[in-house]
Structure 1
């Protein structure tokens, strides 16, 4: 990942006792103890006045714990340590290749909205898995792939250069979040393989611990009506705020109308667009 210079942008004025400034005052200790200052394309800085992009990251952590500065500081410190240990934020831009075992399993695209804005979307295509042991047999390898998919999606949020702030907790929506779509066409719901169960559990734990305030909506698509209860059960293992973002769609053709611009959704999912691979290439070309 490249750590380019960040533009000078001004965050809305904050009173001296604002939780965001209190949080920022703890940043020197957090960075020193974690030995890491990079997250989601942003280099956290301790400068005064605080950098816009730094406040953006801190605001996500604050909102995730209802403005509890102590908890936010604790969570950020854990995340920075984890990112360092996991090997994220490499300056050489190297991308790990996972080969055919993961081919067709995940994509990142964008979907236009009626207001002219766009949502970044990650797609997990579970029906593309032919041999469960290949993507799920090595848990750490699967997690590196899944985290890589998430990091690619976050890169399209442009958190280091955006000029749009995040409102204070309880005063508006965070505009910098991602839709996640899980496609279950061709997947048997009669039993959950232990490998898949372990991978799902570990992924949920990591996302909850280290990717706060990044989920806009999560769609479970082509889930048989009779199995909808299973996804209700999943909501018991996540926060109430996260559970409210879950949507179960039994008929894949109904997905497009939930997302936005039909040209950005494949035809077999109710849209008018090309397949996911082509849509992903379109997004990457736009970024370049």
Structure 2
């Protein structure tokens, strides 16, 4: 896949992004892996646009600390290699145990652009042991959902740069919606606790600056432990992106174009399965 030919703002030699790019040969050699989010990281000069895009996300996640960004990127690349990501293997078929549990859609915005949205439908879980009983399988499913969403950001082809840390928002991020309607049976279940903790740790470590907003919809009081867990495992900046919505009908106006949100969540669109299929069909057209 050809990468973007967009132009990045000029970088001085002392700019953190330039400094991190000069470390790429060592980072890639140490990791033994060079692909992330559909982008092949290149240490060639002049720097490739898509490569700078990835490096900028890592820099922003650590307030421009080049040492920390290099360390974090190296760990992520090693993890992706060990986890078996970025291969030509066919996607895993997780079967009926995960049917209806997760979707990826896009929601239009007033400016004509759109946000990628992942939906975690916990109310679709009928037997906790099926999705949560095998932790490795659950994590692979959840990471697959995240990777699927990231493909729709099209980071290898975009021509829109990410502003420097503290100088504007990152336009390449994802909304996440967690739907808790009808999940009273999840009360403090150890399988769910372990899986939730593991997902939070992976997202925090290996998907920096990917979260735009996270909506918790119809959260029962007995699920308050979710927010206790969040406060322990995410940064203050990440926690600020979380929104609790008690009534699901109020979600639509928070997301954007109502035609891209199901009616039951305050929109005017079809169900999640249909919206997800429409996105896939549209991207393949």
Q: Same fold (TM over 0.5)?
A: yes
Q: Alpha-carbon deviations, 1:58-103, whole Å to 9, x = none?
A: 00000000000000000000000000000000134x1100000000
Residue 85 of structure 1 pairs with residue 77 of structure 2: no
Name the structure 2 match of 1:111.
107
Q: What displacement does 1:8 show?
A: 2.5
* Alpha-carbon distance between aligned partners in 1 of 2:64 and 2:26, rounded to the nearest angstrom: 19
Q: What displacement does 1:158 show?
A: 0.3
Unaligned runs of 5+ in 2: none
Q: Alpha-carbon deviations, 1:231-283, whole Å to 9, x = none?
A: 54244221000000000011000000100011000011111100000000111
Output aligned runs, 1:19-168, within 5 Å: 19-92=16-89, 94-168=90-164
Out of 12, 16, 23, the position equivalent to 2:13 is 16
Q: What displacement does 1:167 show?
A: 0.1
TM-score between the two structures when normalised by the length of structure 1: 0.96
Residue 233 of structure 1 pairs with residue 237 of structure 2: no
* Alpha-carbon distance between aligned partners in 2 of 1:81 and 1:105, rounded to the nearest angstrom: 29
Q: CA RMSD in A?
A: 1.2
Q: What displacement does 1:227 show?
A: 5.2
Distance 1:190 1:197, change over 3 A: closer
Q: What displacement does 1:228 show?
A: 7.6
Q: Alpha-carbon deviations, 1:203-244, whole Å to 9, x = none?
A: 0000000000000000000113x4585454244221000000
Check whether the contact 2:187–2:222 (CA below 8 A) recurs between aligned residues. no
* Alpha-carbon distance between aligned partners in 2 of 1:63 and 1:240, rounded to the nearest angstrom: 14
* Alpha-carbon distance between aligned partners in 2 of 1:10 and 1:262, rounded to the nearest angstrom: 34
* Alpha-carbon distance between aligned partners in 2 of 1:13 and 1:113, rounded to the nearest angstrom: 30
Check whether the contact 1:228–1:248 (CA below 8 A) recurs between aligned residues. no
Check whether the contact 1:256–1:265 (CA below 8 A) recurs between aligned residues. yes
* Alpha-carbon distance between aligned partners in 1 of 2:187 and 2:276, rounded to the nearest angstrom: 31
Determine helix, strand or coil for the equivalent of 1:255.
helix
Name the structure 2 match of 1:223.
219
Determine helix, strand or coil for the equivalent of 1:273.
coil
Name the structure 2 match of 1:205.
201
Distance 1:76 1:190, change over 3 A: closer
Q: Alpha-carbon deviations, 1:32-72, whole Å to 9, x = none?
A: 11100000000000110000000000000000000000000
* Alpha-carbon distance between aligned partners in 2 of 1:216 and 1:115, rounded to the nearest angstrom: 16
Aligned pair count? 283
Out of 201, 214, 217, the position equivalent to 2:210 is 214
* Alpha-carbon distance between aligned partners in 1 of 2:123 and 2:6, rounded to the nearest angstrom: 44
Check whether the contact 1:231–1:248 (CA below 8 A) recurs between aligned residues. no
TM-score between the two structures when normalised by the length of structure 2: 0.97
